[in-house]
């Protein structure tokens, strides 16, 4: 996460104190284990309160916002930069900050009702759009070919077609962890 800290201007967050091996034990055979371990240890996408990581669990749009906000070091949203209001800001202060921060950076837009729908399941297509909108400028600014990194990161896992196009498959915790881990590796290499 050091590379992402430099590029996204964030301070690092410490490990969350949960036992990584215990959190990953139900999915030890999961091919995304390294990414899941990294996401847990970096507190980007920690294990659930019961200690399980649930790699196949679907991520909501709010979960995605929260993971990206944590990936960036949980910066305080600049509300002056929010172009339009959001009608359905989550009640949880951390999720609210994440949604407003992404919205203010132009990576999460509302619909005609000014709703970002944070409780709805995210699709891989939605994840691709939000992650690309947020991270492509940061990668490019760091002199990294954003297209290559994001295409490689965002076309992994189930839900991709033979042509590499992400479809409407649900975005899972494992796919999100793998994507952010790939971006972090590109930023730190």
Classify residue 154: in a domain, yes or no.
yes
- Judged against a pLDDT cut of 90, whether residue 121 lies above it is answered with yes
Task: Please indicate whether residue 173 or residue 104 has the higher confidence score (pLDDT).
Answer: 173
Which pLDDT value is given to residue 38? 93
pLDDT band, very low/low/confident/very high, at 42 (cuts 50, 70, 90): very high
Which pLDDT value is given to residue 6? 35
What's the rounded mean pLDDT across residues 145-160? Answer: 66
pLDDT band, very low/low/confident/very high, at 145 (cuts 50, 70, 90): confident
Classify residue 48: in a domain, yes or no.
yes
Residue 75: CB atoms within 10 Å: 16
- Judged against a pLDDT cut of 70, whether residue 63 lies above it is answered with yes
Mean pLDDT over all residues of the chain?
76
SS (H, E, C) the chain: CHHHHHHHCCCCCCCCCCCHHHHHHHHCCCCCHHHHHHHHHCCCCCCCCCCCCCCCCECEHHHHHHHHHHHCCCCCCCHHHCCCCCCCCCCCHHHHHHHHHHHHCCCCCCCCCCCCCCCCECEHHHHHHHHHHHHHHHHHHCCCCHHHHHHHHHCCCCCECCCCCECCCECEHHHHHHHHHHHHHHHHC
Structural domain of 98: 2-8+36-188
Classify residue 71: in a domain, yes or no.
yes
Classify residue 14: in a domain, yes or no.
no
Task: Please indicate whether residue 8 or residue 179 has the higher confidence score (pLDDT).
Answer: 179
Which pLDDT value is given to residue 2? 42
- Judged against a pLDDT cut of 90, whether residue 15 lies above it is answered with no
Classify residue 109: in a domain, yes or no.
yes
Tally the domains of the chain: 1
Classify residue 18: in a domain, yes or no.
no
- Judged against a pLDDT cut of 70, whether residue 29 lies above it is answered with no
Classify residue 143: in a domain, yes or no.
yes
Classify residue 25: in a domain, yes or no.
no
Which pLDDT value is given to residue 167? 61
């Amino acid at each position: 996460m050091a590379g992402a800290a430099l590029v996204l201007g964030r301070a690092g967050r410490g490990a969350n104190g949960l036992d990584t091996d215990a959190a990953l034990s139900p999915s030890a055979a999961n091919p995304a284990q390294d990414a899941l371990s990294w996401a847990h240890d970096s507190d980007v996408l920690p294990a659930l309160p019961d200690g399980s990581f649930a790699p196949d669990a679907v991520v909501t749009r709010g979960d995605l916002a929260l993971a990206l906000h944590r990936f960036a070091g949980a910066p305080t949203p600049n509300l002056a930069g929010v172009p339009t209001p959001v009608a359905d800001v989550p009640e949880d202060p951390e999720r609210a900050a994440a949604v407003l921060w992404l919205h203010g950076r132009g990576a999460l837009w509302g619909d005609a009702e000014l709703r970002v729908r944070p409780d709805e399941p995210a699709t891989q297509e939605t994840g691709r759009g939000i992650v690309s909108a947020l991270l492509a400028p940061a990668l490019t600014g760091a002199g990294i070919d954003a297209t290559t990194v994001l295409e490689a990161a965002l076309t992994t896992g189930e839900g991709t077609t033979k042509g590499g196009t992400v479809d409407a498959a649900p975005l899972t915790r494992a796919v999100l962890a793998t994507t952010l881990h790939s971006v972090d590796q590109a930023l730190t290499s």
